[in-house]
Amino acid sequence: METNTKSSQPVLLEVKNLKKYFQINTFNEGKQTVHALNGISFLLRESETLGLVGESGCGKSTAARAILRLVEPTSGEILYRNHDLIALKQNKLRPLRKEMQIIFQDPLASLNPRKRVRKILEEPLDIHGLTKSIEKKERVAWLLDRVGLSLDQAEKYPHEFSGGQLQRIGIARAIALNPSLIIADEPVSALDVSIRAQIINLLLDLKESMRISYLFISHDMNIVRHFCDRVAVMYLGRIVEVADSDSLYKTPRHPYTEALLGAIPSIDPEAKKQGLTIKGDLPSTMDMPQGCAFYSRCPIGEKRCEQSVPQLKEINSGHQVACFLRG
């Protein structure tokens, strides 16, 4: 990836100290607070792809929905082209929504089963005022062709397609309004391995031809390395490391990042696992640790890690880590 070129591009999205807490009722302990996001900060430049990685339950999908205000953040700032999305009322936010789209993990669940594909693709055009029938017809034809589907498939319903075809439809819907930002939330994890490469290559092609920036959420470290310019590693609602892809994969600094990379399957059955290993389960987001969230599972943790939260600190140009021992 051309990281040096990307670093000179203008900032498209900047997230500052974003927090999201949920109140839930539990059977034994009554009302509890789920700390889904605990002050995450990062930026995404124009024509860049930023990977957001971590175990299931670390807050990646909540971050995606909070950035687009599909769920309302508890606090923080979300600056899109210097517009604070949290401060905007819905009528002011609506014009910007054309520029920000999302691709969901489960394509079938994200598409209306009662609508033909044509209507699914026309819907964002109707919402944002492209209402001339001939324009919509031409746009639908272009969208289907752009994602490798034929025009005759426009009259089918979602249940008539394979998983890979459904995700192509989801991608077509996402690019219908020429967005600058697409959040791809585990876009290939529900697909067969044989189909994943096709969808990733399609996303790469759209990035180059339409100058799209991606926030790419995944737990597949191999795909992230191939697809992303930079990577942010999340653990229990916090970002613990950010670096360009080459630096992160060659010289990970946070123990959690090292453990994630060490867990990548090898094609060599004789190869030995290298690096640190993670023990135990992800702590509960309803009972957050006082200090470093990774302390209870960290093989190199010290007493101060248990008592204080390490902050992201730049250790090399563009490489940040939140660790007392590796920072």
Mean pLDDT, range 234-261, rounded to an integer = 96
Mean pLDDT, range 195-223, rounded to an integer = 95
- pLDDT at residue 131 is higher than 80: no
Q: Which pLDDT band holds residue 279 (cuts at 50, 70, 90)?
A: confident
pLDDT digits (tens, 9 = 90+) for 58-104: 999 999 999 999 999 999 999 999 999 999 998 899 889 999 999 99
pLDDT digits (tens, 9 = 90+) for 184-206: 999 999 898 889 999 999 999 99
Phi first, then psi, for residue 320 (nearest 5°) are -115, 145
- pLDDT for the residue numbered 281: 81
- pLDDT for the residue numbered 128: 83
For residue 222, count other CB atoms closer than 10 A to its CB.
12
pLDDT digits (tens, 9 = 90+) for 145-173: 999 999 999 999 999 999 999 999 999 99
**44 and 12 Cβ atoms separated by less than 8 Å:** yes
Nearest alpha carbon to residue 146 among 116, 168, 123: 168
For residue 217, the Cα-to-chain-centroid distance in whole angstroms is 3
Mean pLDDT, range 11-33, rounded to an integer = 91
Go through the domains of the chain in sequence order and give each one's CATH number. 3-99+230-321 (3.40.50.300)
- pLDDT for the residue numbered 129: 80
d(CA 162, CA 127): 27
Residue for token pair 């010290």: 302
pLDDT digits (tens, 9 = 90+) for 286-301: 989 899 999 999 999 9
- pLDDT for the residue numbered 132: 76
- pLDDT at residue 52 is higher than 70: yes
- pLDDT for the residue numbered 274: 61
Q: Which pLDDT band holds residue 6 (cuts at 50, 70, 90)?
A: low
- pLDDT at residue 270 is higher than 70: no
- pLDDT for the residue numbered 275: 65
**174 and 135 Cβ atoms separated by less than 8 Å:** no
- pLDDT for the residue numbered 36: 96
